[in-house]
C-alpha cells in the first residue's frame, strides 16, 4: 500500500479509496483476493481450479481483478478475465479495474482490459482512469487510453481536462504528449486554463510549452485573473509570460494557423506534405 499513500497532501482525493477500503474490508477478503493482490499466479490458478468464484466481492465490492490491476499483475489479471471476471466491475466508490491499472501505471494491464471490453469511464460522476493516469505521470497508460479513442479533452468537474491536470501536477511529459496529440490548449477547468495552472505551479517549462502551442496569456478566469497575475513576482514564469505579452512572430502565427487548420490529424498529415525537414520539424514542435 506504500505507493497508494504517497499523495498524502491530496487526502480528499478519490484515489485514497484504496487504502481506506482495503483496510476496512480486509477481514472479508478471500484467498483469491490475496493471491491476485500479491501476484501469486500459481496460487490463483489453483484456487480457481478448486472452484473459487472469480467474481467474489468484498463488502466494498472489490473484486480479485481490482486487486490484480492495482498491483499491476498482468498475468493474474489475464487468468481472471479468461475465467469470467467482470471487466467493468465497480466498487462502491465507482472504481473499476481499469482505474486501478492506471493507478499502478501498468500499460499492459490497461491495454488488456480495453481489449477485453473495459469502458474508459462508466459515468461522468465516477473516477476517471484517464485523469488518474495523467495525475500520476503514467504517460504510457495515458497514450494507451487515447489510442482507444478516449476523449483527449474530457473535462472532469473536479479535475478539469487531462491537460489541465497534467499542468496542475507538473507532469511535463504528459503535457508534451497531450499537446502533440491535439489537446485544446485553452480548455482547462471552467474558466481556468492550463496556463493558469502552470503559472500557479511556477512551471516555466510547461508555460513555454503551452504558449508555443498557442495558449492565450490574456484569458481570464472566474476571478478575472490572467496567468501573469498568478505568477510569482520576479520569477522565471513571470519573465516567460512577459516575453509573450506582445504580438506573436509571423512564424509562430503561421505554425498555429496551419496546425489549427489540420486539427488533430496534424501528426499524421504533416509528414505526408513532403516539406523540407526543418519546416516539418518546426510544424511538429520537434527539437533539432
pLDDT, tens digit, for every residue of 216-262? Answer: 999 999 999 999 999 999 999 999 999 887 777 888 888 888 888 88
CATH T-level topology, domain 1-124: 1.25.40
**What's the chain's average pLDDT?**
87
pLDDT more than 90, % of the chain: 66
CA torsion angle 147 150 152 154 (round to 10): -170
Confidence bin at 25 (pLDDT 50/70/90): very low
Q: What local confidence, expressed as pLDDT, does residue 13 receive?
A: 52
Which residue spans of the chain are classified as CATH 1.10.750?
249-288
Burial of 34 (0-12, 13-18, 19+ CB in 10 A): middle
Overall pTM > 0.85? no
* Look-up of cell digits 501573469: 228
Q: Which three cell numbers stand for residue 125?
A: 460522476
Which residue spans of the chain are classified as CATH 1.25.40.20?
1-124, 151-246
Q: Which CATH architecture has domain 249-288?
A: Orthogonal Bundle (1.10)
Q: Which CATH architecture has domain 151-246?
A: Alpha Horseshoe (1.25)
Do residues 184 and 166 make contact, with C-beta atoms less than 8 angstroms apart?
Answer: no
DSSP-derived secondary structure for 107-132: HHHHHHHHHTT--S-S-TTSPPHHHH
DSSP 128: P
Highest mean pLDDT among 26-35, 91-100, 147-156: 91-100
CA distances from 222 to 108, 193, 225 (A): 40, 11, 7
Per-residue pLDDT at 23 exceeds 50: no
User: What does the pLDDT average to over 181-185?
Assistant: 93
Do residues 132 and 158 make contact, with C-beta atoms less than 8 angstroms apart?
Answer: no
Amino acid at each position: 500500500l506504500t505507493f497508494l499513500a504517497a499523495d498524502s497532501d491530496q487526502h480528499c482525493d478519490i484515489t485514497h479509496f484504496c487504502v481506506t477500503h482495503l483496510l476496512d474490508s480486509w477481514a472479508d477478503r478471500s484467498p483469491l483476493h490475496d493471491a491476485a493482490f500479491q501476484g501469486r499466479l500459481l496460487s490463483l490458478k489453483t484456487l480457481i481450479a478448486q472452484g473459487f468464484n472469480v467474481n467474489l466481492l468484498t463488502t466494498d465490492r472489490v473484486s480479485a481483478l481490482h486487486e490484480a490491476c492495482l498491483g499491476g499483475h498482468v498475468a493474474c489479471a489475464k487468468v481472471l478475465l479468461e475465467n469470467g471476471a467482470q471487466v467493468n466491475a465497480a466498487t462502491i466508490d465507482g472504481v473499476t479495474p481499469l482505474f486501478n491499472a492506471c493507478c499502478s501505471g501498468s500499460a499492459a494491464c490497461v491495454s488488456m482490459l480495453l481489449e477485453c471490453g473495459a469502458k474508459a469511464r462508466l459515468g461522468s460522476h465516477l473516477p476517471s482512469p484517464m485523469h488518474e493516469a495523467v495525475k500520476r505521470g503514467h504517460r504510457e497508460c495515458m497514450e494507451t487510453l487515447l489510442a482507444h479513442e478516449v476523449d483527449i479533452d474530457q473535462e472532469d468537474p473536479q479535475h478539469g481536462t487531462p491537460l489541465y491536470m497534467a499542468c496542475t501536477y507538473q507532469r511535463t511529459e504528459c503535457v508534451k504528449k497531450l499537446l502533440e496529440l491535439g489537446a485544446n490548449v485553452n480548455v482547462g477547468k471552467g474558466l481556468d486554463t492550463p496556463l493558469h495552472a502552470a503559472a500557479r505551479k511556477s512551471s516555466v517549462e510547461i508555460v513555454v510549452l503551452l504558449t508555443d502551442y498557442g495558449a492565450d496569456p490574456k484569458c481570464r478566469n472566474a476571478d478575472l485573473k490572467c496567468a501573469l497575475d498568478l505568477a510569482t513576482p520576479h520569477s522565471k514564469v513571470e519573465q516567460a509570460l512577459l516575453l509573450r505579452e506582445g504580438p506573436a512572430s509571423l512564424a509562430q502565427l503561421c505554425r498555429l494557423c496551419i496546425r489549427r487548420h489540420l486539427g488533430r490529424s496534424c501528426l499524421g498529415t504533416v509528414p505526408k506534405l513532403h516539406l523540407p525537414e526543418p519546416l516539418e520539424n518546426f510544424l511538429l514542435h520537434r527539437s533539432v
